[in-house]
Amino acid sequence: MIGGGDNGLMSLSAVAVIGAGPGGLAAAAMLKQQGVAAIVFEREASVGASWRSRYDRLHLHTTRSLSDLPGLRFPRDVGRWVSRDDVVAYLDRYAERFELDVLLETGVERIDRRDGRWLLRTTRGDRKAGDVVVATGYARLPFLPDWEGRQRFAADFVHSAFYRNPSPYRGREVLVVGTGNSGAEIAVDLVEGGARRVLLSVRTPPQIFPRQALGVPAQAIGICIRRLPPSVGDAVGVILQRAFVGDLSRHGMPRAGHRPYSEFLGRHAIPILDIGLIRLLKHHAVEVIPAVEAFERSAVLLADGTRVTPDAVIAATGYRCGLEPLVGHLGVLDDDGRPLVNGASTHPSAPRLHFIGFANPISGNLREIAIDARKIARAISSSAAVPERATVVP
């Protein structure tokens, strides 16, 4: 049942799942298969809300066959690289297939431990639950650096979270700030969509790999690398880059380090999986410029002291988990605001509190969500005692 009425609230069972994205839906489905009822709290008006709001050309970088949530496969006709719209349709079908109890337009603001249970402060009143699964996603809140002068900047400025397609930028000079996958793909989208000039600001040189090499998807290589020592992963990464990427410093992209897998482990820096940026760099259709330092009314000041005057700026500067108001007081987050545990494990200071979908591994986030959802469901269902139904708290 998907809805927003009070009847859903009154039927809350022992497990509360926060977030109706892939992680929350998968966890709830696997709990149901284990005979444990759960209700999913979703702040927005639909399941998969974050996917619905992403830019139009977005596709999974993981293959269809390695991105299924447990219990339902992607249809073959969506192709190898699944589009945003096909992911959204799949999540709708998933919730319907398992007949999940999803309470829409009901946000959970904070959870606290009380009398051996969890007390959820929701936008519709307080609720109790024996177990809680947090599945709000690692890319929930757009992040912007505290650039000096940004509020005075007169040209168009948006975070990449609000970019949809290149139509508004046709014939214009656009500065894309940030070299994660979003920044790289938006730069490609802008060139192909008719932008007059596309600048790409780089602070930390990115690791770049082909999305697939000789027909083998990068995800499959990542699954294998996870089982190897970091030094071996670094060596494999360097070989792939030399064979399929080449030296991009000749085309303006600063050299990245020679330890790509170690960098990923140490900084959670996801490599760019190329869908066209390499080709555009080599053809000088995307121009690499230094990091942004500050903004003036009509110009952007760069790290080398030069200025550019774009018609628009798109800040692809990443996201934050935004978990601090929800669980920051429980001692379960690291210094970057990410959960200290993920999957079936729970933190000693927060028993029966699980997190899913926050790992973002090179083996593919959806694949790991599927694995963790099963583990969480087994862990919860095998608990010594599942508390009785949660109740409305005065």
Q: What is the pLDDT of residues 276-317, one digit of tens each?
A: 999 999 999 999 999 999 999 999 999 999 999 999 999 999
Q: Is residue 386 part of a domain?
A: no
| Interval 153-188: pLDDT, tens | 999 999 999 999 999 999 999 999 999 999 999 999
Average pLDDT of the residues in 16-35: 97
The beta-carbon contacts of 90-96 under 8 Å, at least 24 apart in sequence, are 91/21, 91/22, 91/25, 91/47, 91/48, 91/51, 92/47, 92/48, 94/25, 94/26, 94/29, 94/69, 95/2, 95/20, 95/25, 95/47, 96/2
Tell me what the mean pLDDT of segment 104-111 comes to: 97
Confidence class for position 14, pLDDT limits 50, 70, 90: confident
Give the residue among 108, 91, 89 at the shortest CA–CA distance from 43: 108
Helix (H) / strand (E) containing 92: helix 84-97
Residue 39 pLDDT exceeds 80: yes
Same domain membership, residue 125 and residue 151: no
Domain's final residue, options 315, 331, 349: 315
Q: Provide the 8-state DSSP code for 205.
A: P
pLDDT top residue among 297 and 393:
297
Tell me the β-bridge partners of 307. Answer: 301
Close Cβ partners of 292 (under 8 Å, ≥ 6 residues apart) = 145, 147, 175, 177, 201, 203, 300, 301, 302, 303
What confidence tier does 3 reach under pLDDT thresholds 50, 70, 90? low
- CB–CB of 1/102 below 8 Å? yes
Please tell me the least confidently modeled range out of 85-94, 256-265, 318-327.
Answer: 256-265
* 3-class DSSP state of 373: helix
Number of domains in the chain: 2
Residues 55 and 135 in one domain: yes
Q: How far apart are CA 267 and CA 271, in angstroms?
A: 11
149 and 32 in a common domain:
no
Position 269 pLDDT exceeds 80: no
Tens of pLDDT, residues 124-144: 999 999 999 999 998 899 999
Same domain, 185 and 306: yes
| E strand or H helix that includes residue 32 | helix 22-33
Q: Which pLDDT does position 386 carry in this prediction?
A: 46
What is the pTM assigned to this prediction?
Answer: 0.91
Q: Give the model's confidence band at 10: pLDDT under 50 very low, under 70 low, under 90 confident, else very high.
A: very low
Q: Are residues 102 and 185 in the same domain?
A: no
Q: For residue 79, what pLDDT is reported?
A: 96
> 10 Å Cβ neighbour count for 328?
13
For residue 7, what pLDDT is reported? 43
The mean predicted confidence, pLDDT, of the chain is 92
Examine the pLDDT at 361 and tell me if it is beyond 90.
no
Residue at a domain's end among 300, 315, 330? 315
